[in-house]
């Protein structure tokens, strides 16, 4: 049962929050819960509403459990439950939007810039450890790797004597609006690697999520200049275990092309809507749970910190969007061995350096089978499966022991040679 709403924290120049984005979509989805559940009830009870044959048995079992319940009583209970969930969701959204948390970590120095891209040096004062070139996704802000004082993968690596260099892509500017993956990987990322070579020597390249694909491409193209490769929750086989996401993107191809024609990029809210389709009920569940938290608690603060990052996305330039959405999700080019960067095939089998692949077992965004497909191709890869989700692997309560410490130890060993 949901707890009564907590007293709001005092207002002190509260941050302006847009999330959860796109808010209109989430509000419409929650309203449809009330109306569609009630409207579908008669058809469902008559047995004419099971569209998917594999759900027939479960539907029959559920129907038998309510056969003896008065129809009007059940309908009223259904309405009460739908309203309870919607109310909890709305209270959670309100509590999130008025929470006073603001990220205030001091920013390390940028040692290289080009366009909207910066290379940030996380080296601890007085240390010059082995370099690690860290590559995040293009569609999410880089600070997921440095989210908060107690949730910073990069500061942990630095404290262990390593020298992480973070690629902060920033939001596309005028120059980046026409960028392809070649421009990002062969161009920007290649020149960031050149700077790391000048400052610290040959690094291990580490990529998270989409950044893992970019890191894999760079490591293959510049193999003599790197010591190894680490991929965290990185997709490779976009049709594993099923091509469902690819079919969804293919079905939306014309609306996506229309958006590209109008904007020249895929806007943030459209990208957020695509992510929401992976698990449409997740938004309602997490905000309803948040509504029951004490606003002053560490759990509430951690939720807000992460949700601020989730809603702080960046658009994807048109040429890159077409390559990722249609080339990866629809055509599955990486797994088929036909993805090219700089005119060269990206061939993980040809990567002769040490590699490490970390795969979250509970990942809903990148199914474990998709990420393991890359580990299977890398000839000198060590794999590690962790009991967490896509984002929890970096920000969860066990992230330090399950991911940070393990990766830091592996990096230290590889960079020592």
End-to-end CA distance of the chain: 56
pLDDT over threshold 60, residue 348: yes
The HSE-up count of residue 217 (CA atoms within 13 Å, CB side) is 30
Strand partners, 340: 345
Q: For position 23, what pLDDT does the model report?
A: 84
Q: Please, what is the average pLDDT of the chain?
A: 90
DSSP 28-75: HHHHHHHHHHHHHHHHHHHT----SGGGHHHHHHHHHHHTTS-HHHHH
pLDDT above 60 (res 5): no
User: What pLDDT is attached to residue 65?
Assistant: 74
What pTM value is reported for the model?
0.89
| Average pLDDT rounded to a whole number, residues 175-192 | 97
Instruction: Please say if the pLDDT value at position 47 is more than 80.
Output: no
- Annotated domain spans of the chain: 23-98+283-310, 110-243+318-415
- The pLDDT, as a whole number, for residue 261 is 95
Q: Return the higher-pLDDT residue of 146 and 46.
A: 146
Classify residue 209 as left (phi > 0), alpha (psi -120 to 50) or beta.
Answer: left
Q: What is the mean pLDDT of residues 105-124?
A: 94
pLDDT at 11: 40
Residue 49 has a pLDDT of 54
Average pLDDT score over residue span 223-230? 98
Please give the order of strands across the beta sheet that includes 131-135.
110-114, 117-121, 163-168, 131-135, 204-208, 228-232, 355-360, 381-386
Is CATH 3.40.50.1820 correct for 110-243+318-415?
A: yes
Q: How many residues does the chain have?
A: 417
User: Band of the pLDDT at 4, cuts 50, 70, 90?
Assistant: very low
Query: Would you place residue 6 in the very low, low, confident or very high pLDDT band (cuts 50, 70, 90)?
Result: very low
Could you read off the pLDDT of 202-225 as tens digits, one per residue? 999 999 999 999 999 999 999 999
**Whether the predicted pLDDT of 100 surpasses 90:** yes
- pLDDT bin (cut points 50, 70, 90) of residue 336 is very high
- Comparing 53-67, 75-89, 275-289, which segment has the lowest mean pLDDT? 53-67
Range with the lowest mean pLDDT among 42-46, 71-75, 220-224, 290-294?
Answer: 42-46
Tokens of 56: 């027939």
Q: How far apart are CA 363 and CA 384, in angstroms?
A: 14
- Residue 8's pLDDT is 42
């Amino acid at each position: 049962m949901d707890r009564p709403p907590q007293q709001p924290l005092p207002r002190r120049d509260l941050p302006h929050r847009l999330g959860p984005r796109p808010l209109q979509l989430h509000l419409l989805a929650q309203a449809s819960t009330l109306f569609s559940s009630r409207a579908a009830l008669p058809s469902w009870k008559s047995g004419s509403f099971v569209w998917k044959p594999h759900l027939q048995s479960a539907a029959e079992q559920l129907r038998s459990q309510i056969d003896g319940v008065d129809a009007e009583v059940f309908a009223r209970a259904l309405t009460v439950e739908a309203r309870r969930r919607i109310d909890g969701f709305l209270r959670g959204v309100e509590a999130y939007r008025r929470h006073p948390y603001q990220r205030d970590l001091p920013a390390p120095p940028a040692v290289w810039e080009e366009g909207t891209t910066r290379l940030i040096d996380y080296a601890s004062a007085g240390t010059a450890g082995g370099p690690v070139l860290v590559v995040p996704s293009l569609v999410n802000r880089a600070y997921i790797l440095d989210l908060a004082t107690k949730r910073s993968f990069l500061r942990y690596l630095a404290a262990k004597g390593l020298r992480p260099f973070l690629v902060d892509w920033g939001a596309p500017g005028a120059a980046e609006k026409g960028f392809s993956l070649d421009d990002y990987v062969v161009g920007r990322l290649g020149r960031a690697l050149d700077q790391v070579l000048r400052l610290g020597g040959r690094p291990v390249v580490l990529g998270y999520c989409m950044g893992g694909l970019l890191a894999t491409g760079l490591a293959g193209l510049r193999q003599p200049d790197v010591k190894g490769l680490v991929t965290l929750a990185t997709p490779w086989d976009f049709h594993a275990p099923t091509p469902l996401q690819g079919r969804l993107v293919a079905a939306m191809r014309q609306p996506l092309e229309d958006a590209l024609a109008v904007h020249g990029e895929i806007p943030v809210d459209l990208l957020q809507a695509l992510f929401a389709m992976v698990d449409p009920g997740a938004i309602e569940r997490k905000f309803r749970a948040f509504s029951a938290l004490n606003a002053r608690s560490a759990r509430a603060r951690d939720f807000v910190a992460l949700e601020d990052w989730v809603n702080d996305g960046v658009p994807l330039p048109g040429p890159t969007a077409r390559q990722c959405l249609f080339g990866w999700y629809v055509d599955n080019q990486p797994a088929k061995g036909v993805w090219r960067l700089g005119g060269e095939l990206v061939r993980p089998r040809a990567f002769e350096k040490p590699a490490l692949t970390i795969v979250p077992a509970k990942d809903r965004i990148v199914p474990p089978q998709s990420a393991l497909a890359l580990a299977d191709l890398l000839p000198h890869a060590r794999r590690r499966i962790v009991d967490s989700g896509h984002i929890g692997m970096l920000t969860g309560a066990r992230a330090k022991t399950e991911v940070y410490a393990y990766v830091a130890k592996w990096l230290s060993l590889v960079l020592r040679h």
